[in-house]
Each structure stands twice: as structure tokens, then as C-alpha cells.
């Protein structure tokens, strides 16, 4: 069934491609690799997407390069995570001088549009301590169900700037969502052993991921996003680990090892490396394999 569908979809894509041969692909700029991967899933070979933040770097602390301004110059769309995650993009757009890429412009796409945000604490940018997270937790792409909303936003934007190909983009999105739904069933099964088991994360990255897959992140090593742990916070974590029998500490490859190792050494908990973005580990080559990898790690650890 799945194979037949896929064949039909590939056929449809091939036909569309043949029809549009010779067309220049639409140049799209995304701030992160995750948006890039989703955009590629929707736009297929009609779009050429570049992402600004290298996958191993922390997008919340990214410093744009001169090249990034040049990349915006001929961009048909700018995709951003929003929710105060990539605030530096505003400055970059201002530097490029292209109004239509700025907030409210017709080529500006805030992918957090219509997402149900978690951890809302403030109403403005720069809440107390550390980098924002004031407008809600920005790591919403880690809930694969949100991909449906994100790709919907992308499709709407593509149809706006490239109306003749709207049908092609819609087919691309439908096909992607079909694959995503199949995958989600498999992930739900695979992740079952890890559900509800207490874990500790370094940064408060996993709220959406936890909600979708019913995972229990009991605490974070950072007391507030971007703030290194204090001694009493570490003591509290040690207690949580002991009391709730925490078996795993989760870190991303770009997060500091020291505190994680310290806690793991004191408690015997396993350290799991999870990827929060496409490309953060070599196995997570695109949006779907990002979850393949993460769910695989969790299933392996708690089997």
C-alpha cells in the first residue's frame, strides 16, 4: 500500500518536473536546517533552499556573517523559526534593505504561525535571565505533528510568490505528510519503553518532543535557558536523580559535556546524545531521519 502510494507520488512529481523543465528554482533562505528540510520536502526540485545557521551551532546565539546578507539579496522567501528563537534575522533583513523580507512583508514567513506554544512565561522579548524563551519555548519543530502546521504555512507562502506552481507544492506537501504519518506510527511504537521514564536535559529543548511522545523530562541542568547551573541547582538535580531514579541525561552535541558528565558520574545515569536539529548528528540528514535517530537512541537506551 505504502509502496504503491510512494510510486504514484514519485510518478506525479516526475510528471510535474517534466512539465516545469527549464524553470529556475525558487531561491529560499531558511534560518535553520530544520526549516530547510521541511521546505525541501514541500518544494521538491522547484526550490533551492539555503540555511544560515550551521547545524552544529546554537541558533539562539548565532552571529550572522557578511555572506548571509548576500544570501538574502535574491531570496524569494525568508523562513524563520520565530518565537524569539532567531532574533538576529531581523537585523540581517534590515541590513539587506529588502522590506518585503521584514516582519509583515509578503516574502516573510514566520513558521511559528498558528503553533500552540508551550512554556509561555512573558509577553515580550528578553525575559529575566538568559536568552529569551519569554514568548514561549521556540523548539516547536521537535513535535512532528507540528510539521503539518509548518508545512501548511510554507505552502501558503509558496502559493503566494509562485502561484502557477501551487498545485505542485501542494502535492509535495501531501506526499510528505503521508510519509510523516506512517513514520509517526512507527515512532510511537518504538518509543513506548521510554515513555514516562524520568530524564534530565541540559537545555529546555525538548518540551514539544516530550509532549508528542509522552516523555518525562524531570528537570534541566540549566536553571534558566542560557544560564549555567549554580551549586544549589546541581544539588537539587542530584536529589531529583536519586529520588525519581533518573536513568538518562540528555545532551545535544553542541552542549557542554562537563556538567552532564559530572551528574552522570555521581549517579550512574546514562548520557544520551539527541539531535535537536537536522544535521546536528550525521545520522539526522533530514527532518524524518532526525526523529528516526532520536527515537532510535531512546528505544535503545530504555529497551
Partner 1 sequence: MSDAIALLWLPFCISVALVGIHTALGLHVLRRNIIFVDLALAQIAALGATVAFMLGHAVNSSGSYAYSLLFTLITAMVLASTRAWSGRISQEALIGVIYVVAAAAAFLLVEKAPQGTEHIKQVLTGNILTAGLDELMVVAPVYAVIGAALWFARARLAHQASGVAGWWWDFFFYACFGVVVTSSVALAGVLLVFVFLIVPAAIGLLYADGARSLVIGWAVGVVASVAGLALSYAWDLPTGSTMVCVFGAVLAVAGALRPLLRGRQALARSVTVLRVVITGVLVLSGIWLCALPRADQPLLDVVERVVPEARTLYLTAQERTIHDEAEAYAERYRRQAEQLNAREAASRWQGAALDDNEVRRISSFLKSYNEMRKGEEFVQREVRSRARTRNRWVLGLALVLCGALIVPWPWWRLRGRQHTGDGQERGRTAGLG
| Contacting positions for partner 1 (CB under 8 A) | 54, 56-58, 61, 116-123, 136, 195-196, 207, 210-211, 214-217, 223, 227-235, 238-239, 253-259, 261-262, 265, 280
Q: Supply 7's cell numbers.
A: 510510486
CB of 249 to partner 1, least distance (A): 13
DSSP summary character for residue 193: G
Instruction: Please give the C-alpha separations between residue 61 and each of 20, 143, 253, in angstroms, as whole numbers.
Output: 40, 22, 15
| Distance, CA of 65 to CA of 236 (rounded, Å) | 40
| Distance, CA of 77 to CA of 263 (rounded, Å) | 44
Whose Cβ is closer to partner 1: residue 185's or residue 258's?
258
| Distance, CA of 300 to CA of 115 (rounded, Å) | 31
Q: Supply 177's cell numbers.
A: 505528510
C-alpha torsion 46→13→160→156, nearest 10? -120
| Distance, CA of 257 to CA of 252 (rounded, Å) | 9
Task: Find, among 121, 146, 149, the residue nearest to 136 by Cα.
Answer: 121
Handedness of CA 90, 279, 46, 69 (dihedral sign): positive
- Decide: helix, strand or coil at residue 216: strand
Whose Cβ is closer to partner 1: residue 155's or residue 215's?
215
CB of 15 to partner 1, least distance (A): 35
CB of 228 to partner 1, least distance (A): 5
CB of 256 to partner 1, least distance (A): 5
Whose Cβ is closer to partner 1: residue 25's or residue 253's?
253
DSSP summary character for residue 21: T
Whose Cβ is closer to partner 1: residue 96's or residue 112's?
112
Whose Cβ is closer to partner 1: residue 101's or residue 247's?
247
Q: At what angle do helices 33-43 and 146-161 cross, to 10 degrees?
A: 60
CB of 262 to partner 1, least distance (A): 4
Whose Cβ is closer to partner 1: residue 24's or residue 232's?
232
CB of 3 to partner 1, least distance (A): 32
CB of 264 to partner 1, least distance (A): 11
Task: Find, among 187, 171, 161, the residue nearest to 78 by Cα.
Answer: 161
Whose Cβ is closer to partner 1: residue 101's or residue 180's?
180
Amino acid at each position: 500500500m505504502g509502496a504503491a502510494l510512494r510510486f504514484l507520488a514519485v510518478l506525479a512529481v516526475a510528471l510535474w518536473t517534466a512539465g516545469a523543465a527549464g524553470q529556475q528554482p525558487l531561491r529560499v533562505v531558511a534560518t535553520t536546517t530544520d526549516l530547510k528540510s521541511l521546505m525541501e520536502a514541500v518544494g521538491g526540485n522547484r526550490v533551492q533552499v539555503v540555511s544560515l545557521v550551521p547545524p552544529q551551532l546554537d541558533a539562539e546565539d548565532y552571529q550572522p556573517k557578511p555572506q548571509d546578507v548576500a544570501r538574502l539579496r535574491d531570496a524569494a522567501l525568508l523562513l524563520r523559526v520565530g518565537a524569539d528563537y532567531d532574533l538576529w534575522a531581523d537585523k540581517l533583513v534590515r541590513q539587506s534593505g529588502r522590506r518585503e523580507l521584514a516582519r509583515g512583508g509578503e516574502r516573510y514567513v514566520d513558521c511559528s504561525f498558528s503553533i500552540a506554544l508551550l512554556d509561555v512565561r512573558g509577553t515580550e522579548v528578553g525575559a529575566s535571565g538568559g536568552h529569551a524563551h519569554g514568548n514561549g519555548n521556540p523548539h516547536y519543530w521537535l513535535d512532528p505533528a507540528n510539521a503539518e502546521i509548518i508545512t501548511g504555512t510554507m505552502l501558503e507562502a509558496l502559493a503566494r510568490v509562485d502561484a502557477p506552481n501551487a498545485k505542485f507544492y501542494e502535492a509535495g506537501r501531501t506526499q510528505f505528510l503521508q510519509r510523516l504519518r506512517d513514520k509517526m506510527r512507527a515512532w510511537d511504537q518504538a518509543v513506548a519503553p521510554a515513555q514516562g521514564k524520568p530524564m534530565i536535559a541540559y537545555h529546555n529543548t525538548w518540551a514539544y518532543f516530550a509532549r508528542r511522545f509522552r516523555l518525562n523530562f524531570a528537570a534541566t541542568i540549566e536553571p534558566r535557558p542560557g544560564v549555567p547551573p549554580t551549586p544549589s541547582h546541581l544539588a537539587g538535580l542530584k536529589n531529583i536523580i536519586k529520588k525519581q531514579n533518573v536513568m538518562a541525561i540528555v545532551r545535544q552535541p553542541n552542549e557542554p559535556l562537563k556538567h552532564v558528565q559530572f551528574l552522570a558520574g555521581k549517579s550512574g545515569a546514562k548520557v544520551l546524545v539527541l539531535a535537536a536539529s537536522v544535521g546536528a548528528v550525521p545520522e539526522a540528514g533530514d527532518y524524518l531521519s532526525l526523529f528516526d535517530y532520536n527515537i532510535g537512541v531512546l528505544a535503545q537506551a530504555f529497551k
